[in-house]
Amino acid sequence: MLEKEEIFSKVLRAGRRTYFFDVRATKADDYYITITESKKFTEEDGSFHFKKHKIYLYKEDFTAFAEILGEMTSYVLNHKGEEVISERHQKDFKKEYATERASEEIVPGVASFTDIDFDDI
């Protein structure tokens, strides 16, 4: 499928990912949207390459797509807040976690709990 030039575009740079939002025209001159995620990967030798993933969103799906996207983003923000807690986004996550665990006070007579991995069960 040969795509025409973008009619309207926006770019969102997010770390090593970049999102491209493009309005394009069909052969019948109707509009649709493409959303492309481009992610940069760096090799050990310093060279890099990009992996791209693209979705096509047509007008008949806009309303349902926007509703579900809004519902999903609200769910995440309401349950986890806006703070990023992934260790990939915190340089010292493991160090901070180890420090917190080491500083936990052990109280005599009170049961302590450990993390359980489902592989252990």
Instruction: Tell me the CATH class for 8-61+70-102.
Output: alpha beta
pLDDT given for residue 108 in this prediction = 53
Contacts of 40 (CB under 8 A, 6+ apart): 16, 17, 48, 49, 50
> If you average pLDDT over residues 42-55, what whole number do you get?
89
Residues in contact with 52: Cβ distance below 8 Å, sequence separation at least 6, in sequence order: 36, 37, 38, 39
Q: What is the pLDDT of residue 121?
A: 45
The ranges assigned to domains in the chain are 8-61+70-102
Token digits for 99? 């420090």
The percent of residues in the chain predicted with pLDDT above 70, rounded, is 66
pLDDT band at 113 (very low <50, low <70, confident <90, very high): very low
